[in-house]
Amino acid sequence: MSLASEGIVQESGTAAGGAGIAVRQKLRIATVNVNGIRAAYKRGMEAWLAERDVDILCLQEVRAPDAIVRELLGDGWHILHAEAEAKGRAGVAIASRTAPVATRDHIGDDYFVTSGRWVEADFEIPSDGGTKTLTVVSAYVHSGQVDSPKQVDKYRFLDVMGNRLTELKTTKDYALVVGDLNVGHTTLDIKNWKGNVKKSGFLPEERAYFDRFFGDEHGWRDVHRSLAGEVAGPYTWWSWRGQAFDNDAGWRIDYHMATPELAAVASDAVVDRAETYDARFSDHAPLVVDYRF
Amino acid sequence: MSLASEGIVQESGTAAGGAGIAVRQKLRIATVNVNGIRAAYKRGMEAWLAERDVDILCLQEVRAPDAIVRELLGDGWHILHAEAEAKGRAGVAIASRTAPVATRDHIGDDYFVTSGRWVEADFEIPSDGGTKTLTVVSAYVHSGQVDSPKQVDKYRFLDVMGNRLTELKTTKDYALVVGDLNVGHTTLDIKNWKGNVKKSGFLPEERAYFDRFFGDEHGWRDVHRSLAGEVAGPYTWWSWRGQAFDNDAGWRIDYHMATPELAAVASDAVVDRAETYDARFSDHAPLVVDYRF
DNA sequence: CATGGTAAG
DNA sequence: CTTATCATG
């Protein structure tokens, strides 16, 4: 079934909102690195989700078998879950209130097939009487470590991701890549950026990928930055260590990357920093954006 | 320094207790498998120890590096600690208020040298103007599993232990072997013994070792059983699973094994089943006995 | 400083 | 069902 047929919220263009005069429909898309969905549920993720009325939920670091993910999320979701081959590691998912019309569970030809770091789901969006395709990706880039094989894998993944970004942008009506990309793009994205210029996550070579992704070469849009403006933060990840969270000594490494046509209909980007919710259920905060078609 | 010179509790034989007329001294010896001393301290072991006024504390399954054991127990103890070679595994210790005059950290020639399952400490006991030697052993027998190499190791350990029991009994004035011996001797020692006759811990072949240890062949005494009488229990271990503790579905696998001369001065054997204390800090309960010289 | 898997109990 | 360690984040 398509989004159009399964009850996407219809908003009216006027106050009265007469029946059938639907003008725009809102699609709320959230991404969050849950750092183990079992731990996240123990810490109150369910309450957050119940309150937030999300249409498409993108998860990273699920770190649980598929059966457990389905049991925890409960009924009412179409769940696409790419587990990592290594048990308890990585794992990305897209849970949607309506069924995707197509799905893909990896990028690249071979190396990243079982890494649990990339899933794609295509949704049908009603448009002027017809439909358009929205591709949503839940991505989890390697965390990296300077002078280690992890860093080599990270660059290799970013290379393959760049290729896929080009394909998505040229073949899909709307495309959105969300997730934990494990790189801060600019000095606005890390509270203590000066102390991290030689650390994986803020290396010049890593940041250059994002210059290309968000620059003329690829032409994607950084939705959260566009809506938040050129200010420091808001961050999406804080170390568990010390008082990083209380001091807001964070990193913005979770993104909504949208093609321009999609970015144009984005609004209300919010980092759910768990002050309005009961608990901090992960070291990452959810990043929630509404798209109106 | 010997016990005699470091302030063992002197008890008087009469109500008045005139100075210098010390008749008997009490030595309180406790054994407990702590199942990780760090976890035990988090669960309230310190409160138990503070309340119990123990002179010699024998520990099994310490499962922590020596520095941590010393930090947790704090000042005022002489600590003898045999770590296992494998980190976080086994480990036995004897903590005493007075210093031992000699110590040994294993049994056998080679195989069990780094297993962290046997420590011996010799203490001097004043006796008729002179001194006698009390050897205290903290022992941790393998837990075993039928048809596995663990069971082979368990029998091998019990064999070597039997040899050492003979040596101790013939060479020491008083000898006491305490600890988690991981075998229930008789049907009184396991609540559900019928369901466990084929399980490691209550195998006929294992029980036969204890028939010999406590029979004419070795001639040791089961202090706790002697004082408790021929009744079911009291048990010293309960599985964490289910309601085993609440239902008192336990095993008596922790012992005070004493040479006859020592057993003759034993009194007040108590299993600290954690109803009188704040918390159950281990799956084993401490077994505390007073010896009066 | 947290996650889950693991071996061991 | 709990322990500590491990690799990973």
| CATH number reported for the structural domain that contains residue A182 in this entry | 3.60.10.10
pLDDT for A2 equals 39
Kindly give the pairing relationship between strand A118-127 and strand A287-292: unpaired
Instruction: Report DSSP state, residue A247.
Output: T
Given a cut of 50, is residue A14 above it in pLDDT?
no
Q: Which residues of B are tagged catalytic?
A: 140, 180, 284
| The two structure tokens encoding residue A106 | 């990896």
Given a cut of 70, is residue B151 above it in pLDDT?
yes
CA distance B128 to B284: 38
pLDDT for A127 equals 85
Given a cut of 50, is residue A46 above it in pLDDT?
yes
B68 touches strand D (CB under 7 A): no
* pLDDT category of residue B127 using cuts at 50, 70 and 90: confident
Question: Does residue A13 sit within a domain?
Answer: no
Given a cut of 80, is residue B6 above it in pLDDT?
no
Question: Does residue B14 sit within a domain?
Answer: no
pLDDT for A9 equals 44
Instruction: Give, in Å, how far the C1' of C3 lies from the CA of A284.
Output: 13
Nucleotide nearest to B240 (CA to C1'): D1
Q: Is A180 in the active site?
A: yes
Task: Residue count of chain A, please give it.
Answer: 293
Among residues A55, A180, A222, A272, the one annotated as catalytic is A180
Instruction: Report DSSP state, residue A11.
Output: E
Given a cut of 90, is residue A3 above it in pLDDT?
no
pLDDT for B17 equals 44
A246 touches strand C (CB under 7 A): no
- SS3 at position B237: strand
Instruction: Report DSSP state, residue A237.
Output: B
B215 touches strand D (CB under 7 A): no
Nucleotide nearest to A39 (CA to C1'): C3
Nucleotide nearest to A239 (CA to C1'): C1
Question: Which of A234-243, A257-266, B22-31, B225-234 is predicted least confidently?
Answer: B22-31
* pLDDT category of residue B22 using cuts at 50, 70 and 90: low
Alpha helices by DSSP H, chain A: 37-42, 45-52, 66-73, 149-171, 204-214, 223-228, 260-263
Among residues A140, A255, A277, A291, the one annotated as catalytic is A140
Given a cut of 60, is residue A162 above it in pLDDT?
yes
Provide mean pLDDT across the span B189-202.
Answer: 95
pLDDT for B23 equals 64
B87 touches strand D (CB under 7 A): yes
Which residue's CA is nearest to the C1' of nucleotide D4? B88
| Percent share of chain B, pLDDT over 90 | 85
Phi and psi (nearest 5°) for A258? -125, 150
Burial of residue A110, with CB atoms counted within 10 A of its CB: 0-12 exposed, 13-18 middle, 19 or more buried: exposed
Provide mean pLDDT across the span B187-198.
Answer: 95
CA distance B13 to B24: 7
- Annotation-wise, does A128 bind a ligand? no
Given a cut of 50, is residue A13 above it in pLDDT?
no
| Domain limits for position A126 | 26-292
Question: Does residue B234 sit within a domain?
Answer: yes
* Domains: count for chain A: 1
Nucleotide nearest to A33 (CA to C1'): D9
Provide mean pLDDT across the span A70-78.
Answer: 97
Question: Does residue B17 sit within a domain?
Answer: no
Question: Which of A21-35, A104-118, B217-231 is predicted least confidently?
Answer: A21-35
Given a cut of 60, is residue B13 above it in pLDDT?
no
Kindly give the pairing relationship between strand A266-271 and strand A287-292: antiparallel
- SS3 at position A60: strand
pLDDT for B59 equals 98
Nucleotide nearest to A281 (CA to C1'): C2
Give the helix/strand (H/E) hosting A291. strand A287-292
Instruction: Give, in Å, how far the C1' of C5 lies from the CA of B9.
Output: 50
Q: Say which amino acid occupies A235.
A: Y
Given a cut of 90, is residue A6 above it in pLDDT?
no
Instruction: Give, in Å, how far the C1' of D4 lies from the CA of B66.
Output: 15
Question: Does residue B19 sit within a domain?
Answer: no
Instruction: Report DSSP state, residue A19.
Output: T
Report pLDDT digits (tens) over A168-186.
Answer: 999 999 999 999 999 999 9
Q: Which residues in range 160-189 of chain B are in contact with strand D, contact meaning CB within 7 A of any of its atoms? A: none
Provide mean pLDDT across the span A115-126.
Answer: 96
Question: Does residue A6 sit within a domain?
Answer: no
List the nucleotides on chain C closer than 7 A to a protein CB. 1-6, 8-9
A44 touches strand C (CB under 7 A): no
Model confidence, pTM: 0.84
Question: Does residue A18 sit within a domain?
Answer: no
Given a cut of 80, is residue A120 above it in pLDDT?
yes
Give residue for tokens 């639907």: A22
Report pLDDT digits (tens) over B162-190.
Answer: 999 999 999 999 999 999 999 999 999 99
Given a cut of 90, is residue B194 above it in pLDDT?
yes
A126 touches strand C (CB under 7 A): no
- SS3 at position A75: coil
| The two structure tokens encoding residue A176 | 């959105």
Angle between helices B204-214 and B149-171 in degrees, nearest 10: 0
Question: Does residue B63 sit within a domain?
Answer: yes
* pLDDT category of residue B281 using cuts at 50, 70 and 90: very high
pLDDT for A274 equals 74
Q: Is A111 in the active site?
A: no
A63 touches strand C (CB under 7 A): yes
pLDDT for A10 equals 45
pLDDT for B164 equals 98
Among residues A41, A272, A284, A291, the one annotated as catalytic is A284
The CA-atom distances, in angstroms, between A21 and each of A28, B11, B161 are 21, 96, 88
Instruction: Give, in Å, how far the C1' of D2 lies from the CA of B287.
Output: 21
